[in-house]
C-alpha cells in the first residue's frame, strides 16, 4: 500500500506538469479569510492571479499565524499591489496559536462545488498561475509532507479504531480497484487531520507550522462513480469540520481537470442505502463527521451506518441524512443497543402510508400493481359471463302453458 501511495503522489507531480501545460486554473481558498478580502471583492470582479513566489508569501503568512500584516515583510514580491490585501490580518476564529495550519490539495476530476461546504465561499481567494516548473517547485514541500502524514496515519492504531475510519473502510470494500484503495487511505489521512487525532500528542514533527494532505485519486478515471461520490462527500465533511470556529488556519488548493466532465454529472450507479448514509448536504456532513470522530466512551466503536443501512446513531443524524425521511415519514428510535450503534441508539425512518425504502424515498405501488393486474381480469370475467348469459336467452323452448298463452288458445262456440 505504501508503494501505491507513493506512486499516487508521483502521479500528482506529473498531473501538475500536465495542468501547467494546459494552463488549467488552480483555485486557492484561505480560511479564515483575510480581513480586507471582502473590501477587495466589492471592487474587483475576479480574484487575483498569483505567481508561485507571490503565493509562497501568502501561504507563509496564513499558515504561520502572522498577526502583523504587511508590516512584517521588508521586501514584498513584485506586483504586490494587486494582492497585498491577502497579507492583511486574518479574521479571528478563536484558534490556539499553537495549533498547526493545514494545507489540503485536491487534484483531479472534481469541481469546487463538489467538495466545498457551506462554511466556505465558492469564490476562490486567489488563483495560482500554472507555469509547470514554478508550480511543481512551489507545491513540492506540501506534497512531501503529505506523504509523511499519510504514512503516519496508516501506522496509527488509534486511528484504525476510530468509527469514522472504520466506516470509510466498509464503504470502500465494495470496490477493489487500486484507485479506491488510494482514495480510501487519503481520506483516512484527511479525516484524522480534520479531527486532530494524530497530532495532539503522537506526531513527531519537524518544526513546521503546518501539515498537509493530498487527495489526488479523483484524477483516475477508472474509479467507480459510487467511490468518487463517497470521496467527494468525505472531503466535504472533513472541510466542514476544518472550518469550524475553533480550527487552525486552512489553505485549500483545488486543481480541476479541464479535459474531463465533473463527476457530479456522471450517471449514478450507487448503492443508495450505503452512500446516502454519508454526507448528503453541508449541515449533515459536519454533523455526521463530528458524530463518527468523537471519542467513544467505552472504547468500543462500531459503525452504525454500514452494519444496518436503516440504523442511524441519533435522531438528528437520521433527520439530516435522510432529509427528514424524504418528507414522507419521521425518524423513530428502533432499538437501544450498543451492538447496533456506538451511541447505543438505532434510529430509522418510519414511512407514511404509501412509501417504502430506507429513507421513505420510494412509493409503495403494491396495491396499485395488484389493482392494475387483477382489475382487468375481473372485468373481463364479468363481461364474458354476461355475454354467455345473454346468448342463452331464447335458445330454450318455452313451457306448454306459456305456448298456449302466446297462441291465444282455442275459440269456443
How wide is the angle at C-alpha 318 spanned by C-alphas 316 and 319, nearest 5°? 65
pLDDT for 29 equals 93
Is the pLDDT at 28 greater than 60? The verdict is yes
Q: Which of 1-15, 125-139, 231-245, 390-404 has the lowest mean pLDDT?
A: 1-15
Report, as an integer, the average pLDDT of 37-46. 67
pLDDT for 90 equals 54
Cis? peptide before 84, omega within 30° of 0: no
Is the pLDDT at 282 greater than 70? The verdict is no
pLDDT for 287 equals 52
C-alpha span between 103 and 61 (Å, rounded):
13
For residue 118, the 8-state DSSP code is T
C-alpha span between 262 and 362 (Å, rounded):
27
CB atoms inside a 10 Å sphere around CB 16: 24
pLDDT for 201 equals 41
Distances (CA, A) of 260 to 92, 109, 346: 38, 6, 41
Report, as an integer, the average pLDDT of 275-284. 40
Q: How confident is the model at residue 104 (pLDDT cuts 50, 70, 90)?
A: very high
Report, as an integer, the average pLDDT of 224-236. 79
Average predicted confidence (pLDDT) for the chain: 67
Dihedral angle of Cα 107, 278, 288, 218, to the nearest 10 degrees? -10
pLDDT for 207 equals 61
Dihedral angle of Cα 237, 243, 244, 245, to the nearest 10 degrees? 180
Nearest C-alpha neighbor of 104 from the set 224, 226, 249, 265:
249
Report, as an integer, the average pLDDT of 21-34. 76
Decide which of 140 and 209 is more confident.
Answer: 140
pLDDT for 126 equals 87
Angle, in degrees to the nearest 10, between helices 52-63 and 132-154: 30
pLDDT for 253 equals 92
Written as nine digits, the cell of 255 is 486543481
- Hunting for cell 448536504 — which residue is that? 281
Report, as an integer, the average pLDDT of 27-32. 90
Decide which of 189 and 174 is more confident.
Answer: 189
Written as nine digits, the cell of 390 is 345473454
Whole-model pTM above 0.85?
no
Q: Where are the alpha helices (DSSP H) in 219-322?
A: 225-242, 272-275, 282-293, 304-307, 315-321
Is the pLDDT at 252 greater than 90? The verdict is yes
C-alpha span between 262 and 341 (Å, rounded):
35
Decide which of 380 and 410 is more confident.
Answer: 380
- Give the DSSP H/E element, type plus range, for residue 323: helix 323-326
pLDDT for 71 equals 41
Is the pLDDT at 226 greater than 60? The verdict is yes
Decide which of 336 and 22 is more confident.
Answer: 336
Amino acid at each position: 500500500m505504501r508503494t501505491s501511495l507513493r506512486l499516487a503522489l508521483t502521479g500528482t507531480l506529473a498531473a501538475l506538469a500536465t495542468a501547467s501545460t494546459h494552463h488549467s486554473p488552480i483555485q486557492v481558498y484561505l480560511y479564515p479569510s483575510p480581513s480586507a478580502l471582502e473590501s477587495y471583492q466589492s471592487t474587483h470582479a475576479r480574484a487575483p492571479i498569483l505567481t508561485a513566489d507571490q503565493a509562497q508569501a501568502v501561504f507563509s503568512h496564513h499558515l504561520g499565524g502572522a498577526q502583523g500584516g504587511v508590516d512584517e515583510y521588508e521586501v514584498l514580491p513584485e506586483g504586490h499591489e494587486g494582492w497585498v490585501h491577502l497579507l492583511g490580518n486574518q479574521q479571528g476564529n478563536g484558534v490556539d496559536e499553537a495549533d498547526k495550519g493545514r494545507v489540503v490539495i485536491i487534484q483531479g476530476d472534481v469541481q469546487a462545488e463538489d467538495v466545498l461546504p457551506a462554511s466556505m465561499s465558492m469564490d476562490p481567494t486567489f488563483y495560482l498561475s500554472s507555469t509547470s516548473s514554478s508550480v511543481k517547485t512551489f507545491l513540492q514541500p506540501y506534497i512531501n509532507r503529505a506523504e509523511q502524514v499519510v504514512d503516519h496515519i496508516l501506522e496509527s492504531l488509534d486511528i484504525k479504531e476510530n468509527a469514522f475510519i472504520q466506516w470509510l473502510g466498509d464503504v470502500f470494500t465494495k470496490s477493489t480497484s487500486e484507485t479506491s484503495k488510494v482514495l480510501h487511505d487519503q481520506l483516512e489521512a484527511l479525516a484524522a487531520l480534520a479531527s486532530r487525532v494524530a497530532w495532539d500528542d503522537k506526531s513527531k514533527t519537524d518544526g513546521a507550522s503546518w501539515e498537509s494532505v493530498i487527495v489526488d485519486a479523483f484524477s483516475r478515471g477508472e474509479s467507480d462513480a459510487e467511490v468518487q461520490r463517497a470521496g467527494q462527500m468525505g472531503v466535504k465533511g472533513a472541510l466542514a469540520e476544518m472550518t469550524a470556529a475553533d480550527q487552525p488556519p486552512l489553505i485549500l488548493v483545488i486543481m480541476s481537470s479541464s479535459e474531463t466532465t465533473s463527476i457530479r454529472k456522471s450517471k449514478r450507479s450507487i448503492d443508495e442505502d450505503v452512500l446516502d448514509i454519508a454526507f448528503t448536504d453541508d449541515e449533515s456532513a459536519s454533523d455526521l463527521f463530528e458524530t463518527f470522530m468523537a471519542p467513544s466512551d467505552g472504547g468500543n466503536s462500531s459503525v452504525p451506518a454500514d452494519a444496518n443501512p436503516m440504523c442511524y446513531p441519533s435522531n438528528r443524524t437520521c433527520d439530516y441524512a435522510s432529509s427528514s425521511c424524504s418528507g414522507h415519514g419521521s425518524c423513530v428510535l428502533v432499538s437501544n443497543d450498543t451492538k447496533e450503534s456506538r451511541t447505543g441508539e438505532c434510529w430509522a425512518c418510519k414511512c407514511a402510508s404509501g412509501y417504502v425504502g430506507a429513507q421513505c424515498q420510494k412509493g409503495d405501488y403494491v396495491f396499485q400493481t395488484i389493482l392494475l393486474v387483477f382489475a382487468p381480469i375481473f372485468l373481463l370475467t364479468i363481461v364474458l359471463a354476461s355475454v354467455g348469459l345473454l346468448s342463452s336467452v331464447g335458445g330454450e323452448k318455452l313451457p306448454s302453458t306459456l305456448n298456449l298463452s302466446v297462441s291465444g288458445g282455442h275459440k269456443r262456440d
